[in-house]
């Protein structure tokens, strides 16, 4: 199992473009500099009227499959 953290500041307008468009994945830079890619649907529960903001932890299994995405505060 692997855990990585990242920050996200995605406006509501940009999220809507992702969601309504052809984009199926979000690509962010982890705090350690590595690039993360995960399904846009994973952040859906964190969307507010302002978009998606915060610091998050993503957890992958041993096969690099995402098992959880949690907001850290």
DSSP 22-51: S--EEEEE-TTS-EEEEEGGGGGGG-BTTE
CB 61 within 8 A of CB 37: no
Backbone angles phi, psi at 19, to 5 degrees: -65, -40
* Fold of the CATH domain 2-71: OB fold (Dihydrolipoamide Acetyltransferase, E2P) (2.40.50)
* Per-residue model confidence as pLDDT tens digits over 9-53: 989 888 887 777 767 888 999 999 999 999 888 998 999 999 999
**In contact, 40 and 24? CB cutoff 8 Å:** yes
Whole-model pTM: value is 0.86
Domains of the chain, by residue range, sit at 2-71
8 Å CB contact between 49 and 12: yes
Q: What is the DSSP letter of 5?
A: E
């Amino acid at each position: 199992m692997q855990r990585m953290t990242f920050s996200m500041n995605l406006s509501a307008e940009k999220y809507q473009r992702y969601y309504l468009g052809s984009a199926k994945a979000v690509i962010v830079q982890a705090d350690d500099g590595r690039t993360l890619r995960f399904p846009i649907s994973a952040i859906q529960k964190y969307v507010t009227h302002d978009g998606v903001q915060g610091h998050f932890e993503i957890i992958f299994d041993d096969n690099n499959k995402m098992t959880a995405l949690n907001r850290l505060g």
